[in-house]
Amino acid sequence: MAKFIFVTGGVVSSLGKGIAASSIGLLLKSRGLHVVNQKFDPYLNVDPGTMNPYQHGEVFVTDDGAETDLDLGHYERFTGINTSRNCNYTSGQIYDTIIKKERRGDYLGGTVQVVPHVTTEICNSIRSVVTPQIDVVISEIGGTVGDIESLPYLEALRQFRIQEGRNNVLFIHVTLIPYLHKAGEVKTKPTQHSVGRLREIGIIPDILICRTEKHLDKDVRKKISLFCNVDEEAVIESMDMPNIYEVPLDYAAQELDSVIIDVLGLRASRRNLKPWREYAERVLNADKEVKIAIVGKYSELPDAYKSIHEALNHAAVFHNARVNIISISAEEIEKSGAETVLKNIGAILVPGGFGSRGTEGKIAAIQFARENDVPFLGICLGMHMAVIEFARNVLKLADANSTEINPKTSHPVIHLMEEQKKVLNLGASMRLGAYPCALKKGTLAYKGYAKEIISERHRHRYEFNNDYRDCFEKGGMIISGQSPDGILVEMIELQDHPWFIASQFHPEFKSRPIDPHPLFRDFLGISLKLNGYDTKESRLTK
Ligand code: GLN
């Protein structure tokens, strides 16, 4: 029977609840348990698919095609377990389900209310991830305790504990212990108040994860334990770590997993975190560095390209290197020119995106990469831009474009496909989630993946226009990956270039710290090599 862990946050937002929940998932997995991580977002948008990355950061896409919160990316990277649609619910989605039921008459004329209808729907959503194999469900509740939006969730969790039995449900509260520089002291009062708010609702946390910039000494731990009513060993100190993948190691040193296993009465094996220790050591021992430019639209906000940053770091660590990621606004390139902005850059990455802002700057960056033998990785819109650049500057199709950007272009090299609409039966809506792709032997892509059929995640509407295939291939562009039926172009690369690859899919979603993605691994590898470093392959033990 599955047991349940709920992770709430207190005092302030941005405490890293997602990393905490992911680390707990990893620790329990490393003790031989089958876990699933899940996130509830208390906002009313049905999913983050249409939300502005400035507000929400990246949209993470699951294998089954759900557009989700970026914390799901952390869950996958830490636990190595693929998430699914059921792993992310928003209040909008919960209400949408209830309102549809109400319209269908499912409530038989009854009054539909937050308690019990919304709370019941929340409880059902928690159970939706349970399968006979699952030992522990870890559900993170977005927002901060005390927010109006979070209340129905907390009420649902209180009910849930009664339904499942007290010994089967555990509450972890991630909280802040601020340090007052003037007083020279850490302060426990905000945490006491936050725990007090939870108790008012009927939830007593079993474990506190205390985010702090100073070590918590024995007396402080004692005080927190006494005033917040948790055991002393259940007061976990959580300081900022040099890299996020050290957080589980820090928790393990404080036996967080053992406390969880004891409270829930789980049967677990001995912990194995060897690859994670190795990863942390490699981060410290990196002996080379490469500068990589991400030429995008949301350059001020690293969270907008979270999985790309992570994938670059995983690949760098694989090569015992550090990556210095330079975020460049595509509009800056439009203003100052690619040569000026991109000089001294080791490699160029153009990420996914929507709309026309900055596209000419991206095209100029790609031309610079192509003409100067700078390693290039294009992702989704980045592939569209690479195709357009090649069409305009190599094939001399002067106003070539994507119909997303210029519907009237005389050379729509990227467009909405009739065939695609038929295959997907989705009209012009997005191609979302994992699709197979067949790689062409002898290409860089094939060499990297070392297999013929791969599976990668998509999030886009526009596709390569097959009317131009011959023309591109004759001009020297290689179609290195396509859908197994040969209809959709999935990957392209260039013949006379050290490393120039673009993909219609998003490889960043599948990179893991101890299993870096082959495209990012090779992109980093060639960039280091061209910068004069020796990059003998050095695998991490899995
Ligand atoms: N805007 C493009 C499309 O819809 C690319 C999307 C993306 O980069 N994820 O096809």
DSSP symbols for 376-434: EEEETHHHHHHHHHHHHHTS--TT-EETTT-TT-S-EEEE--HHHHHHHTSTTS-EEEE
Active-site annotation holds for 497:
no
Decide: 48 and 54 in contact? Cβ < 8 Å: no
Q: Which CATH number fits domain 3-272: 3.30.2270.10, 3.40.50.2300, 3.20.20.140, 3.40.50.300?
A: 3.40.50.300
Q: Which of 384, 460, 506, 517 is catalytic?
A: 506
- Which residue's CA is the nearest one to ligand 1's atom 1? 354
What are the tens digits of pLDDT across the range 410-439?
999 999 986 555 555 444 588 999 999 999
C-alpha of 6 from chain center: 20
Decide: 510 and 425 in contact? Cβ < 8 Å: no
Distances (CA, A) of 444 to 238, 276, 293, 389, 497: 43, 29, 21, 20, 11
Q: Which of 105, 103, 99 is nearest to 118 (CA)?
A: 99
Q: Give the sign of the dihedral formed by CA 324, CA 379, CA 538, CA 250.
A: positive
Which distant-in-sequence residues (6+ apart) come within 8 Å of 202 by Cβ? 158
Q: What is the pLDDT of residue 427?
A: 45
For 245, the token pair is 């993948």
What are the tens digits of pLDDT across the range 132-143?
999 999 999 999
Q: Output DSSP code: residue 454.
A: E
Higher pLDDT, 301 or 345: 345
> What does 109-148 look like in DSSP terms, one character per residue?
TPPP-IIIIIHHHHHHHHHTT--TT-SEEEEEE-S-TT-T
List phi, psi (to 5°) of 437.
-140, 135
Considering only CA atoms, give the Rg of the chain: 25
Residue carrying structure tokens 């039926």:
485
Mean pLDDT of 265-291: 93
Using pLDDT thresholds of 50, 70 and 90, give the confidence band for residue 54. Answer: confident
**Residues 193-201: contacts with CB within 8 Å, 24+ apart?**
193/11, 194/10, 194/11, 194/145, 194/146, 195/10, 195/227, 195/228, 195/229, 197/10, 197/145, 197/146, 198/8, 198/10, 198/145, 198/154, 198/171, 198/173, 199/229, 201/151, 201/154, 201/155, 201/158
What are the tens digits of pLDDT across the range 150-199?
999 999 999 999 999 999 999 999 999 999 998 889 999 999 999 999 99
Q: What percent of the chain has pLDDT over 70?
A: 96
Active-site annotation holds for 210:
no
Mean pLDDT of 327-348: 92
Buried-exposed string 423-437: b where 16+ CB fall within 10 A, e elsewhere:
eeeeeeeebbbbbeb
Q: What is the side-by-side strand order in the sheet with 88-90?
A: 88-90, 35-41, 136-141, 3-9, 169-177, 207-212, 235-238
Q: Return the ligand 1 atom nearest residue 463 CA.
A: 10
Using pLDDT thresholds of 50, 70 and 90, give the confidence band for residue 540. Answer: very low
Q: Bridge partners of 441?
A: none
- Which residue's CA is the nearest one to ligand 1's atom 6? 460
Decide: 332 and 359 in contact? Cβ < 8 Å: no
pTM of structure? 0.94
What are the tens digits of pLDDT across the range 445-458?
999 999 999 999 99
- Which residue's CA is the nearest one to ligand 1's atom 8? 352
Higher pLDDT, 534 or 341: 341
Residue carrying structure tokens 């059902």:
124
- 236 C-alpha to center of ligand 1: Å? 42
Angle made by CA atoms 48, 294, 323, in degrees to the nearest 5:
110
Angle 119-127/151-164 helices, nearest 10 degrees? 60
Residue carrying structure tokens 């975020």:
327
Rounded to whole angstroms, how far apart are CA atoms 152 and 220? Answer: 32
- 3-class secondary structure per residue, 276-335: HHHHHHHHHHCCEEEEEEEEECCCCCHHHHHHHHHHHHHHHHHCCEEEEEEEEEHHHHHH
Q: What is the pLDDT of residue 325?
A: 95
Assess whether pLDDT exceeds 60 at residue 538.
no
For 361, the token pair is 């700057």
Decide: 375 and 499 in contact? Cβ < 8 Å: yes
- 458 C-alpha to center of ligand 1: Å? 9
Mean pLDDT of 196-210: 96
- 336 C-alpha to center of ligand 1: Å? 26
Q: Is the peptide bond before 116 cis (omega within 30 degrees of 0)?
A: yes
Q: Bridge partners of 379?
A: 503
Active-site annotation holds for 380:
yes
C-alpha of 125 from chain center: 21
What are the tens digits of pLDDT across the range 212-249?
999 999 999 999 999 999 999 999 999 999 899 999 99
Spell out the CATH class of 279-530. alpha beta
Which residues does ligand 1 sit against, CB inside 6 Å? Answer: 352-354, 380-381, 404, 459-462
Buried-exposed string 370-389: b where 16+ CB fall within 10 A, e elsewhere:
beeebbbbbbbbbbbbbbbb
Mean pLDDT of 380-399: 97
Assess whether pLDDT exceeds 70 at residue 442.
yes
Q: What is the pLDDT of residue 176?
A: 96
Assess whether pLDDT exceeds 50 at residue 495.
yes
Rounded to whole angstroms, how far apart are CA atoms 296 and 73? Answer: 20
Distances (CA, A) of 206 to 172, 228, 230, 358: 6, 10, 6, 49
* CATH topology match: 3-272 vs 279-530: yes
Ligand 1 site-directed mutation target among 420, 429, 430, 461, most atoms within 8 Å of CB: 461
Mean pLDDT of 459-466: 96
- Domain borders along the chain are 3-272, 279-530
- Length of the chain counted residue by residue: 542
Residue 360 identity (one-letter amino acid): E
Q: Which of 310, 380, 493, 497 is catalytic?
A: 380
